[in-house]
Amino acid sequence: MKRKVFTKSIILLSMISFFTDVASEMLYPVIPIFLKSIGFSVFFIGILEGLAESIASFSKGYFGNLSDKIGKRVPFVRVGYVLSAISKPLMGLFPYIGTVFIARTLDRFGKGIRTSARDALLSDETTPEHKGKVFGFHRAMDTAGAVVGPVITLLLLNIYTIQFRELFIFSAIPGLVVILFCFILKEKKKVPTLNVSNKKTNFFIFVSYLIKAPLNYRQIVIPLLVFALINSSDFFLLLKLKEFGFSDNRVIFFYILFNLSYAVFSFPVGRIADRIGLKNVITFGLFIFSAVYILINVSGSLFWLAFIFLLYGLFSSSTEGMIKALITNIVPPGETATALGAYNALSSICVFLSSSITGLIWNFWGSTLALLFSGLVSLIIFFYFAIFLKLR
């Protein structure tokens, strides 16, 4: 009997990610403004976001390893998504510095708890020959939420003229849908447990796993971590648009265009990856990243930059989900969440550092050099994947 490509669990996880991103991206453009309005200085906004992202980064490795040890995925998915769903409206209901600090940290902590177990569950639910399609479909649904969220925010702010605080409370609606789907999700099959001694899991498990992981894993992940060090926040591309003189509404338009491109390309790219190989598609994605970061400096015309942001969506669809799919294919089943957790944690730390590196270059030598530097380093990693990387 032919196995279904998209099981109930895969569809549920994709719907959960869609509605979570609707809620998150409704708030993403206004969070800094809201935080300033309730008394946060720019300095403390930086501390809040830095602490929250650090907690999420370390948690991905720890809870991924714990998921493998106990052989369960769904409890981590449920707790992680429910924490994020309830934390967002809390910021609107209790708009005080202390409660917002706790709620924002809970949101990121929830992401850390769920991410590795969710990706491992996607892997558990399919076979190697369908990984590209499954991870591509999940990314398409996730990113579709990132398109819908900002559109809802623009409508609510411009047509109904609601306040920022009310926007946070409104995010409870997609959050309730997320909670409902989380409790429909069931643990259908036994997951192979991690074959290790009973040593306690610690928050730095991702470091030791990188050292002892299979050779193929290190050959892929280490250069990708170097790439993560120059793959800075998308804020820098949006800041480049501001340098070209675009209005805030135009900047939001480009952000939506990027996410729309990401969502549209993700599933077709996943199908192609299953045919020509995940590594080949990731290699192509690295080349597209280089092209974007080099070519964005060529012209400030609307049509040229629209093309660049469409390309940037193609880069994201060719890498993020595909990298996770490839990792799940090269490690033993009992190590899936641990391997994903190690990659997620280390890459999150590198991305956090990358924004500082790009910011420093931008500050001292200008935006053109900062973006060119990222593009050229990415080109080196592209050549490594294209010429030197041979998977066994």
Span 151-179, pLDDT tens digits: 888 888 777 777 777 888 888 999 999 99
Q: What is the pLDDT of residue 197?
A: 47
- How does pLDDT run across 256-312, given as a tens digit for each residue? 899 899 999 999 999 999 999 999 999 999 999 999 999 999 989 999 999 999 999
CB 146 within 8 A of CB 18: no
Q: Which of 204, 219, 225 is nearest to 351 (CA)?
A: 225
Residue-wise pLDDT tens digits, 214-271: 899 999 999 999 999 998 878 788 888 888 888 877 887 888 899 899 999 999 999 9
pTM: 0.87
